Amino acid sequence: MLHILVVVFPVLIFYSPIKFGINKDIVFKVVTFLLIYAFATEYLRLNHNQFRKWFNKYLGFMLRESESHSLTGGFYVVAALFICSGLNLISDQMSASCFLGFTLFIIGDGAAALVGKSMGRTKIGDKTLEGALGCFLICFFIAFLLFPYLPEFEHLWGREVTLFNAAFLSLSVAVLELFPLKIKNFVLNDNLYVPGVVSVLAVLLP
């Protein structure tokens, strides 16, 4: 459910300037406010007992067990949205790339979790190979069969969504989701950096 709700944001970020004439700077400021709000919520949840009790009572069902005493995946998604909305200011081509990259990751990550939990057998760290395959397939389906028909997308992206482009970006999402980056003993949350990395890869494609 969270992934379905979140995917609305890259759609709004991409199409608000095109369809409603909303300045990209305003969109960036709105996303910045969302990040500040998300950070404040996380701070209160982790440091104030009364707020934590209220949060757990009404929204605790959305948390994984590992998130009870740490930042949630939702916070990292908002942070990634902030990064992409910042990149969105660079150019229209970058805007299209962020729209594609963020959307593929959000839906692909959700598919990886669902497939991994229901059919995952081959463990790779905390993830499963089956989940990664599900991630790749849904990303490829969306990139190759949906994005070419979205209004203004290919025009602003500056290229067509070819079979190679769709496969390359889908594989990038699946691999980055399967193998989280590590800095010494610290594992980076993939929600934070994968959308931005895939967006940059998308804008660099020939």
Please give the DSSP secondary-structure letter assigned to residue 62: G
Separation between Cα atoms, residue 66 and residue 63, nearest integer Å: 8
Residues 24-34: b if buried by 16+ CB within 10 A, e if exposed: beebbeebeeb
Percent helix, strand, coil in the chain, to 5, is 75, 5, 20
d(CA 178, CA 67): 19
C-alpha 143/C-alpha 150 separation (Å) is: 10
Contact 170, 140 (CB under 8 A): yes
Domain locations in the chain as residue ranges? 2-204
Residue 168 has which token pair?
């390359």
120: tokens are 């995952």
Q: pLDDT in tens for each of the 206 residues of the chain?
A: 556 678 899 999 999 999 999 999 999 999 999 999 999 999 999 999 999 999 988 888 777 777 888 898 889 999 999 999 999 999 999 999 999 999 999 999 999 999 999 998 999 988 999 999 999 999 999 999 999 999 999 999 999 999 999 999 999 999 999 998 888 778 889 999 999 999 999 999 98
